[in-house]
Structure formats: C-alpha cells, structure tokens
Amino acid sequence: MFDHLPRASLATLPTPLEAADRPHNAGPALWIKRDDLTGLGGGGNKARKLEFLCGEAVAEDAKSLVTVGAAQSNHCRMTAAAGSRLGLEVHLILSGDAPVADDALTGNQLLSKMFGAQMHYTGAAESHWGELEIAREALTDELAAQGMRPSSIPIGGSTVTGALGYAVAFVELIEQCATAGFVPRAVVFTSSSGGTHAGLLAGRAAMIADGRLDRDSAPDIVAIGVAKGVNLGYPDIAGLADSVLEVMQVDAVIDGDDVEVDARWLGEDYGARTDAATAAIDWAARSGGWLMDPTYSGKGLSGLLGQVAEGRWNRDDHVVFIHTGGWPALFA
C-alpha cells in the first residue's frame, strides 16, 4: 500500500507500545503508543508525516521547506530537524512576535534555531491559522521567485501526503497489539489539523478491506479536539481519509459515522490551559514517567481519562492512547 510512494527515512520505527496502570479500577486496560519517541529532532507524531512530505519534496527536487505553526509549534521544530537531516533550507512562519534576542529563545523555538531554521514572526495570535497560512503562501511565492524551489507545507502537515504517515502507523499499531494478544476497543489521540485522524481512519479502512481486521471488532478511532476548527468539522476528515485511500490504491471509503471528535476538552481556545489537562499531565508523569504538554498531548489524555471516568469502556477492554509528543514545549 505504501511502497509506490516517495518516502524519506526520518523516524525511528516502530515506536514502543507500553502498558499503563488502569486509570480507574472498573476501567479498561490502558496502553501508550510512544510516538513521542520517533527520534527526529526530539520526537513526536510529525516525523511520520514528514517522511512522506519530505519524500515528495526530494522527489520534486525542492531546495527548501516552508511551513507554519504556533509560536511553540512541534511541527515546525520537527520540520526544521528534517531539513537539517536532508540538507534543505527551512523557513518557519510563526505566531507571535520575535524575541528581543536569540538567547531569549525557549522550547521548540530554541531547538528550531539549533537545527538551522529561519524563523519569520507574524505577530498573529496562535489561533489565527488563516492569517498564518496567508503568510506561508506569500513567503512561498517569494522564495519561488528567488529560485529556491520551496516545498510548502500547511499547518500540521495535514495534507493527503502527510496523512499517509498515520495510515502506516495504524497498521504498525495493530500488529503490535496482536503480538501483545489483544485487539484494542479504541484508539484515542489528540487532533488539531486533522491529518493524524484521517490517516488512522484510512489505515483502519485499508486493513478491513484486505481482511486483516473484522469490521465489527475494529477499534473506534476517537479524536480529542484541541482546536476550534476540528471541533467544528474542519477540515473534512472523511474526505481527507478517502483521498489517502485513493493514493494508497485501496478500494474503500470512509463512513462519516466513523469520524468521532470529542470537543469538550479544548478549553477557551487552542493553547489555552485547562485544569483537566494539568491533572492529566501530572497523572502521566507520576504513573509512567511520560512527559506531555498542556497544548496538545495533555489535553488529549485528559479527554481519554474523562471518558474512562464516564464509563465508556469496561474492565475487559483495551484502549490505546497515541502519545503524539510535544514535551519540548514544557521548557517554554
């Protein structure tokens, strides 16, 4: 399903699948899929997307990468690392204002600078994604005029090409679960720009189509929405997943009823702290030494723990949480 597609070798795969303590006595067995350990530039889920995005860029003879994100964007940090690995110039469009000096850089911005990226600050608010994307398109045009042959990547790398990374991840995960002796009842993860979600749905549909998963026992794909757009249904996750399946050359379509986004854990906005995320971050740190951040993975885990407390799953179920990374933001 993937061998015909250009792909750069960037991630350390497969990532581990670790057993966690039951968060509730009557609740399910919980497993953590450690996609914070993908290796590239501090790890995180974007490494999987960048393998296909950068593979495409190299195949098209790009000389530079351009992408966009919040001030402490994990995706931007990992794109910077991918560029350093592949010898491509990297330009990052970021929210917020430039720091007064380079020695004031913290977290993901400090790491992006270490990887050699050029950072362009827009002054935009973190949640103003449209404004950031306009700036990305303008810089892409400018670099193209200079002969830099830019490969321009939207926020989160959530294109059809990027989402392929999580179709691969789903197959990898199900094979690990089989080795451990179970089929998960649900796969839970954090979602903002929709690419991880679409990829997981495509991977699930592909495994059902080729008979490796039974439709009735296939795991639910449960997104915890941490951005207003995905919580309101943007982008069209089912449509994006269908496009991924087409690129994979798999004869299957996504049922709209399979697209589940729990929007209750966002808080006031993207990046805004919540008490539930803080509690989930503390639980992860004390239960397994897992580091999660308050913008992304911490909110995702808070949604899973909240659904456990509500009794969605029983003691006989196995639930997997995909830890998508984000720990460098803790140092900001």
Residues carrying an active site annotation: 73
Decide: helix, strand or coil at residue 135.
helix
Q: How far is the C-alpha of 253 from the C-alpha of 198, rounded, in Å? A: 12
Q: Token pair 């392929």 is at which residue?
A: 164
Beta pairing class for 29-34 and 17-20:
antiparallel
- CB-based burial of residue 146 (10 Å sphere; 0-12 exposed, 13-18 middle, 19+ buried)? exposed
Contact yes or no for 156/197 (Cβ under 8 A):
no
Query: Length of the chain in residues, anyone?
Result: 332
User: What DSSP character marks residue 93?
Assistant: E
In terms of phi and psi (left: phi > 0; alpha: psi -120 to 50; beta: otherwise), the region of 139 is: alpha
Q: Give the Cα separation of 295 and 62 in Å (integer).
A: 32
User: Which DSSP letter does residue 15 get?
Assistant: P
